[in-house]
Structure 1
Amino acid sequence: MQIPLVYLRICTPRDVQCGLRGYSRVGSAGLCRACPSVTLFPDLLTYRMLRYPYFCRLYKEFLSCWWESGIFNSGVWPKRIHDTAQRYNECEAREQTDQTGTQEMHRPQDRDNEAVTKLHIPVMVDEVVRCLAPQKGQIFLDMTFGSGGHTRAILQKESDITLYALDRDPTAYAIAEQLSELYPKQIRALLGQFSQAEALLMKAGVQPGTLDGVLLDPGCSSMQLDAPERGFSLRKDGPLDMRMDGGRYPDMPTAADVVNALDQQALASILRTYGEEKHAKKIASAIVQARSLYPISRTQQLASIVAGAFPPSAVFARKDLLQRSTHIATKTFQAFRIFVNNELNELYTGLKTAQKFLRPGGRLVALSFHSLEDRIVKRFLLGISMTERFNLSARQKVIQALKLGSGRENMEGASISKAPLMWELIHKKVLTPDDQEVQENPRARSAKLRAAIKL
């Protein structure tokens, strides 16, 4: 059942006094019978109102009026409502005075270098090229082309290769096509998601078991973060979109659709699962309360709503790996972005596609920027089921290792044996950027690189 959208028109205090005291005065069109010019707003509906900044400036006046007239229903309105515009201004002022600045969780901003904000600087590029070890005549697949930083580095190492550049973002695809004009014999641009890579490769004439190397660099690029109209960043106001390929699929739900449509339990589950947010219930409750007043359609709206659920001292209390202040809504934005783009399922599908198309001896290099991505890559390379429990205690890990090593029977009588390995790790331990790279490119601070050879 589709919930109808109603309009709230900001009226005079006298007009407002006509409504909101029960539904006996509400007509079928949602208008107050005593004052037809006033549009009422019942509970549990999502409303299309005047643009958010206007409401922020005006609602204080109406709140005082409603309190005086005794028509304020505290059961409908949020228990803790903040002037979101003022709260965000406070956050922004603190951000400007903080020497460390506000940073995104995975891709912090480099204000001193304007080029960094406009171009995705390739992360751990030397390690990537070294692990792929391109040789003359080989065939490679860059599954996340972005702005082409890694692709250019591979071509600089060895130009006599064929490289398929895949990306789901039409903007990145356009850059790949431009680069293919400079390297017409080397680069083949492909537009699609990881789940579409197999069909695209087959259409391009690439057969399974023929690739020499595959590079995976999932997540959101700087190019996307720095475009306010894409709605990825909480630092720049824009439509709450977050779709990596929204232009290709206009019917695909946006982050605004998710925030305004799902119930509180579902929102909390998304925040907990994809953002690893320990205050998921609290944030979900704040979102549900806020959207009962106005539709959440802007990035800074969502950021200030999340900030409003916490004391001012907690808004920038969290630190990143470089001990720099991060906004309290960073994990919330990560969670909705991952959910909207189905990133984790796409990553797992991409890993399986890479395994299918790599030849024996072919190399897979995967970069990750948070624990959810790295956990999937690690388990895939080690042959561990994605449904296996994680965060086991030390005792549980020892027992599991003994069972896997001896192949003993478990309590149900089923044999627990080690799954045959499909990969040989190039490095036993995960690689991380060195201090110099992190200093030069803070966006690399949370990167982890895993590389393996297909057996």
Structure 2
Amino acid sequence: MLKRLLIPTRIRLDYLRHNTIKVAAKATVASPLPAAPHVPVLCDKAIEYLKEAPGRTFFDMTFGAGGHTRRLLEALPDAKVYALDRDPVAHQLAQELSETAEYKGRIIPLLGKFSDIPRFFGEQSLAKNSIAGILFDFGCSSMQFDEAERGFSISHDGPLDMRMDGGRSGGLTAADVVAKAEEGDLVKILRIYGEEKAAKKIARAIVDARNGMIKIETTRQLANIVEDALASGPRKDKLQRPAHSATKAFQALRIFVNNELNEINYAMLLANEMLRLDGRLVTITFHSLEDTIVKRHIAGNVTAGAANLMPLKYSSHGLIDDPEMLQSLSETNWRQLHRHVIVPDPAEVARNSRSRSAKLRAAVKISAPPEIYEESTE
């Protein structure tokens, strides 16, 4: 059984340690889903890299609606995929697929976060350095954005939730954060996780609403507060596309609520331990914070310059005190399989507008990783 490398929780905001809000867990498992509610992004390129892996055991670390997994199993009829997702709706779909004649014994559904992988390795009797290929498709799926009750969408009014696991493990909702966080902490959340230049204005507007006894409980309420606070007309994103004023604020809250950057950082460390030599890693990211973490791991630059991404105590890379471990993480175990980052072509963007900001990186594991786990003696 593998032991987890602990990334101390003090890298999250201090107020969470002193103002814990206990929320009852409730899994929002919906009725059976249609066959393919989500269009997989950069699927052809991802499968192209994965099918060259030295083996037939794979991990889809972000199963979603299973688009990438289906294509991989079509390309490799003798392959098996461990399908991980923290979303109970996605997990239900994986379970349903795993019971069909086509996929029986070829899809193994796992419900949990990236940081649960060491536990799953023990439960599934998997060995370190045994997996042929790993796929990450970071970010929310279309299923999450399109379901108003999940609380991710600006365009669909619903409860301000944003928990990717639907509340299965409790935890803070986005409504809890906007209701309880101090103004200074709200500024940091918006600025660091949303890269929001108007963080102070938005945080002030949220606090003013709270002082006016307004409970911010729905996505529409929050979107309207942000829009009124900025009142600067239509915005554009980094690609000069029209964007709602609250897009960055919603991104920030979603990342914070789900502890996404810590999970991604830890998952990249896990991937190095999971893959066999010459194993393939494919990542698909949708914003610069995710992509920065992936780039640093592949380049062996996990710690250097981390403070440039965000102040150290909020750093997505955690606080690791072992000097030998820090040194080992600066010696890359990856070789990137392409010269430039891969993005969707115009035809894919025309078919699926949500692919516009996607970036794919693929790498092969070229040497044994540092010993960041120890064999359990339990």
TM-score range, shorter chain: 0.7 to 0.9
- The aligned counterpart of 2:247 is 330
Pair 1:264-2:149 in alignment = no
**Aligned ranges 1:37-436 → 2 under 5 Å:** 119-134=37-52, 138-182=56-100, 183-250=103-170, 252-293=171-212, 294-311=214-231, 314-319=232-237, 321=239, 323-386=240-303, 388=305, 419-436=330-347
Write the distance in 2 (CA, Å) between the matches of 1:245 and 1:387.
Answer: 32
Write the distance in 2 (CA, Å) between the matches of 1:418 and 1:215.
Answer: 21
Does the Cα contact within 8 Å between 1:134 and 1:158 map onto a contact in 2? no
Does the Cα contact within 8 Å between 1:170 and 1:191 map onto a contact in 2? yes
Letter of the structure 1 residue corresponding to residue 291 of structure 2: D
Write the distance in 2 (CA, Å) between the matches of 1:391 and 1:354.
Answer: 24
Write the distance in 2 (CA, Å) between the matches of 1:253 and 1:442.
Answer: 30
Gaps (5+ residues) in structure 1?
1-114, 393-415
Distance verdict in 2 for CA 1:133–1:171, change over 3 Å: same
Write the distance in 1 (CA, Å) between the matches of 2:182 and 2:346.
Answer: 43
What is the CA deviation profile of residues 72-102 of structure 1, one whole-angstrom value per residue up to 9, with x for unaligned ones? Answer: xxxxxxxxxxxxxxxxxxxxxxxxxxxxxxx
Post-superposition shift, 1:425? 0.8
Gaps (5+ residues) in structure 2?
1-33, 310-326, 367-378
Post-superposition shift, 1:119? 1.5
Query: RMSD in angstroms over aligned alpha carbons?
Result: 2.1
Write the distance in 2 (CA, Å) between the matches of 1:220 and 1:417.
Answer: 32
Does the Cα contact within 8 Å between 1:194 and 1:350 map onto a contact in 2? yes
Normalised by the length of structure 2, the TM-score is: 0.79
Post-superposition shift, 1:162? 1.2
Post-superposition shift, 1:371? 0.2
Post-superposition shift, 1:372? 0.2
Please give the secondary structure, in 2, of the residue aligned with 1:309.
Answer: helix
Letter of the structure 2 residue corresponding to residue 359 of structure 1: R
Match of 1:441 among 336, 344, 352: 352
What is the CA deviation profile of residues 340-392 of structure 1, one whole-angstrom value per residue up to 9, with x for unaligned ones? Answer: 00000001111111110100000000110000000000001101034515779
Does the Cα contact within 8 Å between 1:136 and 1:158 map onto a contact in 2? no
Post-superposition shift, 1:205? 1.5
> Deviation above 3 Å: which 4+ runs of structure 1?
134-137, 389-392, 416-419
Letter of the structure 1 residue corresponding to residue 110 of structure 2: L
Write the distance in 2 (CA, Å) between the matches of 1:187 and 1:119.
Answer: 18
Q: How many percent of aligned residue pairs carry the same amino acid?
A: 50
Letter of the structure 2 residue corresponding to residue 276 of structure 1: E
Post-superposition shift, 1:201? 2.3
Post-superposition shift, 1:272? 0.4
- The aligned counterpart of 1:63 is none
Does the Cα contact within 8 Å between 2:128 and 2:273 map onto a contact in 1? yes
Write the distance in 2 (CA, Å) between the matches of 1:129 and 1:230.
Answer: 30
Post-superposition shift, 1:316? 1.8
Please give the secondary structure, in 1, of the residue aligned with 2:364.
Answer: strand
Letter of the structure 2 residue corresponding to residue 421 of structure 1: T
Write the distance in 1 (CA, Å) between the matches of 2:269 and 2:60.
Answer: 15
Please give the secondary structure, in 2, of the residue aligned with 1:360.
Answer: strand
Does the Cα contact within 8 Å between 2:55 and 2:132 map onto a contact in 1? no
Post-superposition shift, 1:217? 1.0
Letter of the structure 1 residue corresponding to residue 133 of structure 2: G
Letter of the structure 1 residue corresponding to residue 226 of structure 2: V
Does the Cα contact within 8 Å between 1:367 and 1:448 map onto a contact in 2? yes
Letter of the structure 2 residue corresponding to residue 158 of structure 1: L
